[in-house]
């Protein structure tokens, strides 16, 4: 039985040697399987590609620039030939040793996916943790596809599930949503959070915020509905306001007092308008990028061969 292991790497020269050593140790323990290793070098500027090339049994793809982890994952999945395919990070935050359990569970239960979920966020900043929790609450309250809190991209999938994932070739990729969208029975394997072994995370607050918005825009149109509700609410309030002013004029005769409150109301309503335009803009920009049908990634080199296009 062939098991493909897909690893996206961006500037991982520090963590990669330790990861490869651990991965080899784990796969050696697994009798009865053959392994196919697919490393995706996502435009690294350090020695990542060199380290990958030093292992002659590894397949690899190298991008012309950094296209992002989502594109790297997609490229790896497209090339994987295994009966089972596992995706894992190169920084040991997805412990390779869990693969043993994952393979046992997927066969025993005869299901299509075993995915890893962190039961805590030990070692992560308080603000980052809180924002992540808020994000999962938000997206799950709006989207019909459940996105597990603490879920990682780290998972073992059956051939048919991988085929379904590849079929979704959209430009704005949010893998956690895509895995949930394609369905299939998934077993959640829980584990304690592990910190990155070496090197630095590629995410900062802003890029995570962007990723979160991508996820929400990609998997639910509820913000648009909320925007229209807000519009309706403002309309009703404005209508009541008009009645109030007219009645006051009839009783007291002076409609011009209260300009300060008027300014506040104006600012408030224009703020809401801007917010709603922003929400609509997010969806339009996504549609725009999607209709261009640009390639998700461009390959520079693949398994020793130079390439020109994806
Ligand atoms: N990664 C990638 N392209 C990117 C950013 C990250 O291929 O543009 C890879 C990275 O090398 C690692 C995995 O994606 O193997 C997860 O990245 P990271 O550890 O920075 O994310 P975190 O674990 O902090 O969410
Ligand atoms: Mg990491």
Please tell me the predicted confidence (pLDDT) of residue 165: 95
Please tell me the predicted confidence (pLDDT) of residue 86: 95
| Residues 233 and 285 occupy one common structural domain | yes
For residue 196, is it within any domain?
yes
- The answer on pLDDT for 225 being more than 90 is no
pLDDT band at 210 (very low <50, low <70, confident <90, very high): confident
For residue 76, is it within any domain?
yes
Convert the pLDDT of each residue in 167-209 to its tens digit: 998 888 888 889 999 989 999 998 888 777 777 888 888 888 8
- The answer on pLDDT for 131 being more than 90 is no
Pocket lining: 244 vs ligand 1, CB cutoff 6 Å: no
Pocket lining: 69 vs ligand 1, CB cutoff 6 Å: yes
Please tell me the predicted confidence (pLDDT) of residue 200: 81
Kindly write down the DSSP assignment for every residue of the chain, as one continuous string: -EEEEEEEESS-TTTHHHHHHHHHHHHHH-TT-EEEEEEEE-S-SSSHHHHHHTSTTEEEEEESS---HHHHHHHHHHH---SEEEE--TTSSS-TTHHHHHHHHHHHTT-SEEEEEES--TTS-HHHHHHHHHHHHHHHHH-SS---TTEEEEEEEEHHHHHHHHH---SS--HHHHHHHT---EEEEEE-----SSS--S--HHHHHHHHHHHHHHH--HHHHHHHHHHHHHHHHHHHHHHHHHHHHHHHS-----HHHHHHHHHHHHHHHHHHHHHHHHHHHHHHHHHHT--S--EEEETTEE-S--
Specify the number of domains making up the chain.
2
> Which atom of ligand 1 lies at the shortest distance from residue 201's CA?
20
Q: Which of the residue ranges 81-90, 117-126, 244-253 has the most confident prediction, judged by mean pLDDT?
A: 81-90
- The answer on pLDDT for 126 being more than 90 is no
Pocket lining: 88 vs ligand 1, CB cutoff 6 Å: no
Question: Which residues neighbour ligand 2 (ion) by CB within 5 Å?
Answer: 91, 93, 196
Pocket lining: 227 vs ligand 1, CB cutoff 6 Å: no
| Residues 273 and 160 occupy one common structural domain | no
| Residues 108 and 236 occupy one common structural domain | no
For residue 308, is it within any domain?
no
Please tell me the predicted confidence (pLDDT) of residue 308: 59
| Residues 197 and 239 occupy one common structural domain | no
| Residues 198 and 230 occupy one common structural domain | no
- The answer on pLDDT for 44 being more than 60 is yes
| Residues 232 and 85 occupy one common structural domain | no
Closest ligand to Cα 43 = 1
| Residues 62 and 96 occupy one common structural domain | yes
Residue located nearest, by CA, to atom 8 of ligand 1: 68
* Candidate of 89, 92, 175 to mutate for ligand 1, largest count of ligand atoms within 8 Å of Cβ: 89
Convert the pLDDT of each residue in 145-162 to its tens digit: 888 888 889 999 999 999
| Residues 197 and 226 occupy one common structural domain | no
For residue 126, is it within any domain?
no
* Candidate of 5, 6, 8 to mutate for ligand 1, largest count of ligand atoms within 8 Å of Cβ: 8
* Candidate of 37, 61, 66, 69 to mutate for ligand 1, largest count of ligand atoms within 8 Å of Cβ: 69
| Residues 173 and 283 occupy one common structural domain | no
pLDDT band at 240 (very low <50, low <70, confident <90, very high): confident
Q: What is the CATH number of the domain that holds 25?
A: 3.90.550.10
For residue 159, is it within any domain?
yes
Residue located nearest, by CA, to atom 2 of ligand 1: 69
Please tell me the predicted confidence (pLDDT) of residue 146: 84
For residue 77, is it within any domain?
yes
Give the predicted TM-score (pTM) of the model. Answer: 0.81
| Residues 182 and 274 occupy one common structural domain | no
For residue 70, is it within any domain?
yes
Mean pLDDT, rounded, for 279-302 = 90
| Residues 25 and 93 occupy one common structural domain | yes
Distance 58 CA to ligand 2 centre (A): 21
For residue 124, is it within any domain?
no
Domain range holding 227?
Answer: 222-292
Convert the pLDDT of each residue in 247-265 to its tens digit: 888 888 766 677 777 877 8
Convert the pLDDT of each residue in 58-83 to its tens digit: 999 999 999 999 999 999 999 999 99
Pocket lining: 176 vs ligand 1, CB cutoff 6 Å: no
Please tell me the predicted confidence (pLDDT) of residue 77: 96
> Which atom of ligand 1 lies at the shortest distance from residue 91's CA?
15
- The answer on pLDDT for 11 being more than 60 is yes
pLDDT band at 5 (very low <50, low <70, confident <90, very high): very high
| Residues 96 and 60 occupy one common structural domain | yes
How much is the mean pLDDT over the chain?
A: 88
């Amino acid at each position: 039985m062939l098991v493909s292991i897909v690893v996206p790497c961006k500037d991982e020269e520090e963590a990669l040697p330790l990861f490869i050593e651990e991965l080899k140790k784990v796969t050696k323990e697994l009798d009865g399987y053959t392994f196919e290793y697919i490393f995706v070098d996502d435009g690294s500027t350090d020695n990542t590609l060199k380290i990958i090339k030093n292992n002659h049994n590894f397949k690899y793809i190298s991008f012309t620039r950094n296209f992002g982890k989502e594109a790297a994952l997609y490229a790896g999945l497209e090339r994987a030939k295994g009966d089972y395919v596992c995706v894992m990070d190169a920084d040991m935050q997805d412990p390779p040793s869990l693969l043993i359990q994952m393979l046992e569970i997927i066969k025993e239960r005869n299901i299509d996916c075993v995915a890893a979920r962190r039961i805590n966020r030990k070692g992560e900043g308080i603000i980052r943790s809180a924002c992540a929790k808020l994000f999962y609450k938000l997206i799950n309250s709006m989207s019909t596809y459940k996105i597990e809190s603490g879920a990682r991209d780290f998972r073992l999938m059956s051939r048919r599930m991988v085929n379904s994932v590849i079929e979704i070739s959209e430009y704005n990729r949010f893998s956690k949503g895509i895995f949930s969208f394609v369905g299939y029975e998934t077993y959640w394997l829980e584990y304690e959070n592990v910190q990155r072994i070496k090197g630095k995370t590629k995410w900062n607050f802003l890029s995570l915020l962007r990723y979160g918005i991508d996820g929400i825009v990609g998997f639910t149109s509820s913000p648009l509905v909320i925007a229209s509700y807000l519009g309706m609410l403002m309309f009703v309030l404005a209508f009541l306001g008009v009645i109030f002013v007219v009645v006051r004029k009839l009783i007291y005769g002076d409609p011009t007092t209260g300009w300060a409150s008027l300014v506040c109301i104006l600012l408030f309503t224009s703020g809401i308008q801007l917010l709603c335009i922003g929400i609509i803009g997010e969806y339009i920009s996504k549609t725009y990028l999607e209709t261009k049908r640009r390639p998700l990634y461009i390959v520079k080199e693949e398994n020793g061969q130079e390439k020109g296009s994806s």
